[in-house]
Structure 1
Amino acid sequence: MKLIRAPNLARAHELVIRYILEKGSLLTTENGEETVETDEICISVDTPLASPMVSASSRFKEAFLDEYAKNLIEGSDSVFEYDYHGRLFDWGCGLMQNGEIHQDQIRYIIDKLRQSPVSRRAVAVTWCPPVDAKLADCPCLQLVQCIVREGNLHMKIVFRSNDMLSAAGSNMFALAKLQEYIAEKIGVGVGTYTHISLVPHVYYKRDAADIPPFCEKGAQFTPRVEVCRACGVCQKAKR
């Protein structure tokens, strides 16, 4: 597993994109999309709320991500096959047990850590086997764990699969805001943020236009040759 440490989310996003584009292997997904992926990556961010939280290279700016984070924590009126707010704050997926199940897992985490600050059981999951096995678009985020140590709430995240170019920046931003929300409810500080991606990848053809701001057209780093060819915007790609 590759460990990437960074002082803030923006730098973490930049470093992980560089690693994947330089070191990744090509794979065509079951949906026929061209990706470059690596083995597992663990991103460790010391101060997730420190500026900048959003890389200047990302196509999504902070105003957009503030709204995305708000929807994660408060919910929205949009309708999807699933959404992370529902899976974390109202898990159940229509399952029945003495009536329909409605489990607020974030409330559970808050109550658990208020009751026992040293607990290792403050965990929320998103996967719902009888539902997600049939979905065309199923949750990438799988697990959220929070622990309190030395007066700070540390959050640990596991993604089964993670689009690191167009999604991970948004994911990390919103989850760090969720970390802040939980910490405030408990009355502790915000500690480290750990983001584990089991299959990190980039859709290098679909999202080719989003790559040059990260590599700065080859000035910062040179992606593997197939990625450069798909992008085709700089002299390195043409050579």
Structure 2
Amino acid sequence: MLYIKKPSVYSVFDELIYKILNEGDDVETEFGEPTKEIRNTIIEITNPNLKKVPEKYPLGKKAVDDYINHLLYGSKNEFSYDYHQRLFKYPYKDEEINQIEYIINKLNQQKNSRRALAITWNPKIDIEVSKDERGSVPCLQYIQFLIRNNNLYMTVLFRSNDAFLAFPANALGLIELGHLVAKKTNTKFKSYLHHAVSMHIYIERDKDMLKKSGFL
């Protein structure tokens, strides 16, 4: 288990990558890819207003901006899942459920609610997709918001998270979602907590980029 508490994603990134490379377990994925992994990595961002992209993040600011745009407003690309769809238009029978709208309404009705949450996993879809060797299913699983003393606290859970290529965009994108909820609930966005059950780095696949970024 790893716990890192820092003001920003920017200040977390280098420590996270070095910790996984130096202390992570060697784990081969179900697809035969070598990784370094730390189970149950918890990252607490104490100042979500700090949105600078880590300098060593190989995909850069554009990738983060694109991720934020797709998360909040949707994408024209077609995947077996889409976070915007699962959060804003969750498929259930013949319905589409806007879970973010529910969260905002719930918190505005009951400031101390523990029920302001959203899920992305859809068993009807994702169990079947998982049977395909390369089927793509959501890594982000769960989001919950709490308001305490007019401060907004956001917690997210990932079943699996690529620390090197995905974490910065994931975290900064979800933090932007947190700012949206804070604005709609007239609260101060106080803390973002990011929990990844499997936080990992693809050692062989990303070796060249890891070297170029100065991690190897």
Normalising by the smaller structure, the TM-score range is over 0.9
CA distance in 1, matches of 2:2, 2:67: 28
Instruction: Give 3-state SS (helix, strand or coil) of 2:71's partner.
Output: helix
Alignment check: 8 A CA contact 1:58 1:210 kept: no
Deviations 1:35-91 (CA, angstroms, capped at 9, x unpaired) = 111121110010122142x11000122233122101101112111111100010011
Q: Point out 4+ residue stretches in structure 1 off by more than 3 angstroms.
A: none
CA distance in 2, matches of 1:108, 1:209: 44
Instruction: Give 3-state SS (helix, strand or coil) of 1:32's partner.
Output: coil
Code of the residue aligned with 1:69 in structure 2: it is I
Code of the residue aligned with 1:60 in structure 2: it is L
Match of residue 146 from structure 1: 145
Instruction: Give 3-state SS (helix, strand or coil) of 1:157's partner.
Output: strand
Alignment check: 8 A CA contact 1:151 1:189 kept: yes
Alignment check: 8 A CA contact 2:51 2:172 kept: no
Match of residue 106 from structure 2: 112
Tell me how many residue pairs correspond in the alignment: 211
- Residue 39 (structure 1) aligned with residue 46 (structure 2): no
TM-score of the superposed pair, with normalisation by structure 2: 0.93
Q: Percent identity?
A: 34
CA distance in 2, matches of 1:152, 1:75: 28
Code of the residue aligned with 2:209 in structure 1: it is D
Match of residue 101 from structure 1: 95
CA distance in 1, matches of 2:187, 2:156: 19
Instruction: Give 3-state SS (helix, strand or coil) of 2:75's partner.
Output: coil
Code of the residue aligned with 1:106 in structure 2: it is I
Match of residue 90 from structure 1: 89
Residue correspondence of structure 1 range 105-184 to structure 2 within 5 A:
105-135=99-129, 136-184=135-183
CA distance in 1, matches of 2:145, 2:114: 8
Alignment check: 8 A CA contact 1:141 1:160 kept: yes
Q: Unpaired runs of 5+ in structure 1? A: 218-227, 229-239
Residue correspondence of structure 1 range 45-84 to structure 2 within 5 A:
45-52=45-52, 54-84=53-83
CA distance in 1, matches of 2:49, 2:77: 27
Alignment check: 8 A CA contact 2:90 2:96 kept: yes
CA distance in 1, matches of 2:69, 2:49: 15
Alignment check: 8 A CA contact 2:63 2:169 kept: no
Q: Unpaired runs of 5+ in structure 2? A: 130-134
Shift of 1:213: 5.2
Shift of 1:173: 0.8
CA distance in 2, matches of 1:101, 1:57: 42
Code of the residue aligned with 1:61 in structure 2: it is G
